[in-house]
Structure 1
C-alpha cells in the first residue's frame, strides 16, 4: 500500500484490517499445533505433534531443537507461517525438544547438560517413538550449535541428517559484537570482568535482558516499524506476521548462569568454535567427528548470525558425509519462519530430508562416496551441492521476514 495515493481496494483492505484488529484483538492465528509429551527430564520436554485425522505419518522423524532463551514458538509462529504446520501437513513425523522455564535453581547447569543429556535423550526418544528410524535434527541458532556438538560427541546416535539454521560459529565475524569487544576484557577486582560479575550475581541472564538484547539486534526494524505498519495496512498477512513476531519477542526465556558464562567466555571472548572444537572438563569435542550429512543455512540479512559467521562451519565438517550451504532471505528469525521462508528455507529442508531419508539415504551415501572429488570439485562442494542457487533478499522488505 503506497502512502500516496492509495488505491480504493487498498483503502478497503486497510480499513478491514484495522477494524478486525480493534474488534478481535489481532489478525494472526496464534493457535499452537496440537502436541503430546512423550518424554521429559530436567529442562527437557520432548513433544510429538499430532497430525490431522486425515493425514497419515510416513517417513523418518524430524526433531526441532530450540535454542536457549528463545521460546519454542519459533518453530510454530502462527498458522500459515509455522514450520511445524508445514511438516505435519505433509505427514512427516514431527517432534520438538524444549526446555521450559529456566530459574535461579538451574544456574549451575552448563552447556554440557544439553550436549550430554537433553539432546541425546530427545533423539533416542524420538527414534524409539517413530519405530526405530533415524532422526533428522533441525536446530536454530544455539540449538544448531547444540546439535553439532551432540552429533560430534556421540556419532552413534540415530541421526539421519543435521540442519543448522543461523548458528554463528565464527563470532568475530558478527558486526554487532565489534562495538562491545573492547569492553570484554575490562576487569574489576579478583580478575573478573564487569559482565562476569554481573551474570554471576544474577545467576545467569534474566528474561528482560535477553529480550532487550534480541531487540537491540533488530533496532533498525524497530525504528522503521511504525512506517512499515502504515504502508502495509492493506496486507493482512504482513500485519499478522508482525503480531506473531511481537509475541515471540515478548516470551524470551532466561539463560542458566553457567551456560551463559560458557557462551560468553568460550564463544564470545574465546571464539572457540571457529577452531572447530570445544572443551568440557577433560574432554574435547571436535566438529570434524560429525559423520552425518549437514545442511547449513545463512540468513541474507541476519545481524545476529551473519552469513560469514555461519559459513565458517563448512570447512570444519571434514568428517561429514556431505555438507551443503544455502543463503536464504531473512533475518535471524525470519530465515526460519518468516513469510519468505515458505518458498526458500522450508523448500530446501524438504529436499534435504527426502534425500537422506530411508531408502533414499542409502543411494545418496553411495553417490557421495562413489568418486573422490578433485580439489576444485571439493572447493565447490564446500559451499553446498547447489552453489548456483541463492535466494535473494530483495523481497525481504518486511519486519516479519
Structure 2
C-alpha cells in the first residue's frame, strides 16, 4: 500500500518516467532550423564507412522535435532515433524552435523552401559522402513539409520521402469536412481574420486541442493510473505522452491561415497543386519514392486521407502505403510502432539500397 502511494505521488508530481535523450551533437544553429545529429562518433564513422544513407527527420509544426526521441532506452520502445541508429543509419533532426507572435509571418513556404532544404544541405555536408543523398522522414504535418520540399525542389539529393500519419486530403477527414461545409459560404474569411488578429494559434490552444481529440484517454486517466500502479511500463508510457503534449508550441500566423484556407477550405493538397505565398507546388510532379503509413484508428488523420497518396503522387517512381492500426502518435512511437511501423520503414529503405 505504501509503495502504491509513493508511485501515485511520483506520477502526480511528474517524476515517474525517466528523462532520457539519445546522445547527440548540434551541427548548425540557424534560426528556426537548428540541426541535431544523433549517435556516437563510433556510430557516425561506421555509418559513413558502410555507405549508409542518412535520415533527416522533419517534425510537424506545433510539435517539439523531440517527438522522434521520446524516452530512449525505456520500454516500450519510444524513440525512432534509437531504432534508426540500431539499423546502422545516422538520423538528423531539424528543430523549428518555439513559435510566438514574432513568427506570425512564417508560412509553409518558409519551411519547404528555406528551413528544410538548408538543413538537408547541412546534414549532407556533415555526413561528408560525395554525391550522397538522404531520406526525409516526417510524422503528420512533418510529412506534408517533406513532400512539399521534395516536390518543389526535385533537384535536391532526396532519395525518398517517408510519411507517418500524414493527411493528403482534408476532404477525406470527417472533422475537417464538417468545418469546410460550415466555412464554405464565407470562404473562411471570419476565422481567417481571427487568426490574423491572434498572430497564429497559441501553444495552450494547440495543447488543449490535441488532448480534446483524445478525450476518452483524458477521462479514463485517473482510473488508468490507479489500475496500473504496479505496471511500471504503462505509467511511464502515459507520463511520456503527457510531457510531450504539454510541450507543444503554437502555429505561426501565416501557417495557420494557410492550413485553414489552402488545406481545409480549398483542399488544395487533395487536388495536388498548392498555392502557398508566391510559390506553386505540384505534388503530382514529385518523382522520389514515397512510403506512407496510415491507420483506421487515427483520430487526427483518417485512413483515407493518408492513403490518398496512392492516387495523388502519380509521378513518383514508387508509392508504398502501409496500414498500422493504432493511434496518431502510436503510428510513430510505442510498442505497435516498434512492431509494425519501424520494421516496414526499414524494409522499404533496405529495398531502396539494394536497387540503387
TM-score of the aligned structures, taking structure 2 as reference length: 0.90
Tell me the equivalent position of 1:119. Answer: 116
Distance, in Å, in 2 between the alignment partners of 1:143 and 1:46 is 15
Q: 1 CA distance for matches of 2:180 and 2:278?
A: 29
> 1:163: which partner in 2?
162
Matched, 1:35 2:24: yes
- In structure 1, the gaps of 5 or more residues are 1-10, 363-401
Question: Is 1:341 paired with 2:340?
Answer: no
> Does 1:63 pair with 2:49?
no
Q: 1:335 to 1:221 in 2, by over 3 A?
A: same
Do the aligned partners of residues 181 and 352 (structure 1) sit closer, same or farther apart at CA in structure 2, a change above 3 Å counting?
same
Match 1:211 to one of 207, 213, 216: 207
Post-superposition offset of 1:116: 0.5
Answer whether contact 2:297 2:327 (CA < 8 A) is retained. yes
Deviation at 1:224, TM superposition (A): 2.2
Q: CA deviation at 1:53?
A: 5.2
- Alpha-carbon separation, structure 2, partners of 1:38 and 1:101: 19
Aligned-partner Cα distance in 1 for 2:44–2:86:
7
Q: Is the 8 A contact 2:104 2:254 kept in 1?
A: yes
Seen in structure 2, the aligned counterparts of structure 1 residues 336 and 54 have a Cα distance that, compared at 3 Å, is closer
Number of equivalenced pairs = 346
Checking the alignment, whether the CA contact within 8 Å between 2:55 and 2:136 is kept in structure 1 is yes
What is the distance in 2 between the residues matched to 1:23 and 1:284?
A: 49
Equivalent of 2:194 in 195, 198, 207: 198
SS in 1 for 2:332: helix
Residue 221, structure 1, aligned to residue 222, structure 2: no
- Alignment partner of 1:84 out of 81, 84, 88: 81
The answer to whether the Cα contact below 8 Å between 1:174 and 1:303 also exists between their aligned partners in 2 is: no
Q: How does 1:269-288 map to 2 (within 5 A)?
A: 269-281=265-277, 283-288=279-284
Q: Relative to structure 1, is the Cα distance of residues 230 and 305 closer, same or farther in structure 2, using a 3 angstrom cutoff?
A: same
Q: Is the 8 A contact 1:51 1:89 kept in 2?
A: no
Task: Report the secondary structure of 1:184's partner residue.
Answer: helix
The answer to which structure has the higher helix fraction is 2
* 1:332 positional shift: 1.1
User: Which residue matches 2:230?
Assistant: 234
- Equivalent residue number for residue 174 of structure 1: 173
User: Which deviates further from its counterpart, 48-57 or 317-326?
Assistant: 48-57
Give the corresponding residue for 1:51.
40
Determine the structure 2 residue equivalent to 1:316.
Answer: 312
Given the alignment of the two structures, is residue 249 of structure 1 paired with residue 245 of structure 2, yes or no? yes
Q: Specify the SS of the correspondent of 2:119.
A: helix
Q: 1:103 aligns with which of 100, 103, 113?
A: 100
Task: Note the C-alpha offset of 1:55.
Answer: 7.8
CA drift at 1:30: 2.2
Aligned CA RMSD, in angstroms, stands at: 2.4
Q: Give the CA deviation at 1:54.
A: 7.2
Distance change (3 Å), C-alpha of 1:180 and 1:319: closer
Q: CA deviation at 1:108?
A: 1.0
List per-residue Cα deviations over 1:270-316 (Å, max 9, x = no partner): 11111111123554211122111100000231111111111112111
Moved more, 69-78 or 226-235: 226-235
Q: Matched residue of 2:26: which SS? A: strand
Q: Which one of 66, 71, 83 corresponds to residue 73 of structure 1?
A: 66
Structure-2 separation of matches of 1:214 and 1:297: 20
Q: Output the TM-score relative to the length of structure 1.
A: 0.80
Distance in 1, Cα, partners of 2:226 & 2:112:
45
For the pair shown, the structure with the greater C-alpha radius of gyration is 1
**For 1:196 and 1:45, how far apart are their aligned partners in 2?**
30
TM-superposed CA distance for 1:330, in Å, is: 1.7
Ranges in structure 2 where 5+ consecutive residues have no aligned partner: none
- Give the CA deviation at 1:233: 2.9
Q: Which moved more, 1:327-336 or 1:19-28?
A: 19-28
Q: Is the 8 A contact 2:43 2:85 kept in 1?
A: no
